[in-house]
């Protein structure tokens, strides 16, 4: 009996030692992890999962505090804080980094990805990793990509059933050149605004509409100030998970691996949540009073045609080699 007890005790201690191995080299650290979306949004759910995994893997030594809803400022302010080291981590629209590394603008090309499978393959593969590698000289380290999803246009003026219905609308856009250009190409008036200012701008009629995935529209309660939603799927947005290089360089190899592994696990979870939620969220928006329309195929074709000059212009700005590399990846996937 004593021998059996001794064996059981030794086995239990061995298992405990294995569990603690990953946290043995972790120091006590605090990480601020920021994002513009509201609590409960699939992006924030991914961040919460990351925090939970890091806590478990580090034995409680590394604490991650999630700041959703733009609590620590706009994306642009967060980028500066990451570079300076006063914020440790962020998840933000990958296209925002085009102001630092021009190649990131390719992620904002209209009608780039046909579906989520294509997007996953590109961002998780060599192409997505090569773009994140370019951020290091700008003071940021990319750990991977969450999914914001396919973007759609909403407004408070009228239903959109044909491309011409978009003309004349004053639309809030993410502050970057390609978004300004594609809105101009449709005859609408682009208004660059940081996301935390969007709800008030819509409520006060400073802008007529905006474009975002349904989860963001729902999470930010834009249905309260927007009547019409057109399912245009005109852009797909990956969201980069980035770490301050100043913070990253101070970590041990074990700590870096712990954070990378936690990011990988949370990415899988986040995308599952995002995709599972999409259909249900659309029903919620309808119940909240939004009138939802879909463009017929002929109108989608017109929409794509109007985007072609914008893509050509920005292909030259991004760099033909980068665009061709991405298109080659997509061609392989489509075959």
User: 32 in helix, strand or coil?
Assistant: strand
Query: Which region among 111-115, 134-138, 238-242, 266-270 has the lowest average model confidence (pLDDT)?
Result: 111-115
Q: What is the rounded average pLDDT of the residues 85-104?
A: 95
CATH code assigned at 296: 3.40.190.170
Q: Is residue 151 situated within a structural domain? A: yes
Is the pLDDT assigned to residue 279 strictly greater than 90? Answer: no
281, part of any domain: yes
Q: Residue 283's pLDDT band (boundaries 50, 70, 90)?
A: very high
Is residue 20 in a domain? no
pLDDT band at residue 25, thresholds of 50, 70 and 90? Answer: low
73 pLDDT more than 50: yes
Q: From residue 89, how far is each of 9, 45, 56, 241, 303 by CA, in Å? A: 41, 15, 18, 7, 37
Tokens of 218: 């729902």
Mean pLDDT of the chain: 92
pLDDT band, very low/low/confident/very high, at 11 (cuts 50, 70, 90): very low
Q: How far apart are CA 108 and CA 314, in angstroms?
A: 10
Reduce the DSSP state of residue 148 to 3 states and report it: strand
For the segment 68-77, the average pLDDT, to the nearest whole number, is 94
The answer to whether the CB of 141 falls within 8 A of the CB of 135 is: yes
Count structural domains, the chain. Answer: 1
Inside any domain, residue 202:
yes
Report if residue 14 sits inside a domain.
Answer: no
- pLDDT at res. 335: 85
Please check whether residue 287 is in contact with residue 60, taking contact to mean a CB–CB distance below 8 angstroms. no
Whether residue 189 lies inside any domain: the answer is: yes
Q: Which of 21-35, 286-300, 321-335 has the lowest mean pLDDT?
A: 21-35
pLDDT band of 46, cuts 50, 70, 90 = very high
pLDDT per position as a tens digit, 201-219 = 999 999 999 999 999 999 9
Per the listing, tokens 């990480």 go with 31
- 191's tokens: 């208004």
Residue with tokens 């760099």: 319
* Span 115-137, pLDDT tens digits: 999 999 999 999 999 999 999 99
- Whether the predicted pLDDT of 254 surpasses 60: yes
Task: Report the distance separating Cα 43 and Cα 64, nearest Å.
Answer: 15
Classify residue 16: in a domain, yes or no: no
Beta-sheet strands, E only, within the chain = 29-34, 62-67, 89-93, 140-155, 170-173, 189-192, 209-212, 228-244, 291-293
User: Quick check: is 18 in a domain?
Assistant: no
Q: Is pLDDT of 5 > 80?
A: no
Which of the four pLDDT bands, split at 50, 70 and 90, describes residue 23?
low
Q: Give the per-residue pLDDT at 18.
A: 42
State the pLDDT at residue 176: 83
**Chain centroid offset of residue 116 CA:** 13
Identify the domain containing residue 77 by its residue range: 27-334
CA distance 243 to 262: 13
> Which residues are registered as beta bridge partners of 34?
67, 90
| pLDDT over 90, % of the chain | 87
């Amino acid at each position: 009996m004593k021998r059996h007890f001794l064996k059981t005790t030794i086995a239990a201690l061995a298992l405990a030692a294995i569990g603690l191995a990953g946290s043995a080299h972790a120091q006590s650290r605090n990480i601020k992890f920021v994002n513009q979306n509201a609590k409960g949004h699939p992006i924030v759910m991914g961040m919460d999962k990351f925090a939970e995994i890091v806590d478990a893997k580090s034995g409680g030594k590394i604490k991650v505090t999630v700041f959703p809803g733009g609590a620590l400022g706009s994306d642009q302010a967060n980028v500066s804080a990451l570079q300076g080291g006063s914020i440790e981590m962020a998840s933000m629209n990958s296209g925002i980094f085009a102001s630092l590394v021009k190649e990131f603008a390719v992620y904002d090309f209209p009608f780039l990805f046909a579906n989520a499978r294509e997007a996953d393959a590109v961002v998780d593969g060599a192409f997505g990793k090569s773009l994140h590698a370019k951020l290091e000289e700008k003071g940021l380290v990319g750990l991977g990509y969450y999914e914001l999803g396919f973007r759609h246009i909403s407004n408070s003026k009228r239903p959109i059933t044909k491309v011409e219905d978009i003309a004349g609308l004053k639309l809030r856009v993410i502050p970057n050149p390609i978004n300004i250009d594609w809105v101009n190409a449709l005859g609408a008036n682009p208004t660059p605004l940081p996301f935390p200012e969007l709800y008030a701008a819509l409520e006060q009629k400073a802008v007529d509409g905006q474009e975002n995935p349904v989860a963001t529209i729902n999470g930010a309660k834009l249905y309260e100030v927007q009547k019409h939603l057109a399912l245009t799927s005109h852009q797909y947005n990956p969201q980069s998970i980035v770490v301050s290089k100043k913070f990253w360089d101070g970590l041990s190899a074990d700590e870096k691996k712990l954070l990378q592994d936690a990011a990988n696990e949370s990415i899988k979870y986040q995308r599952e949540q995002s995709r599972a939620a999409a259909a249900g969220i659309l029903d919620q928006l309808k119940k909240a009073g939004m009138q939802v329309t879909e463009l017929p195929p002929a109108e989608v074709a017109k929409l794509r045609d109007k985007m072609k000059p914008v893509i050509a212009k920005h292909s030259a700005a991004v760099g033909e080699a980068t665009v061709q590399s991405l298109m080659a990846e997509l061609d392989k996937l489509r075959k």
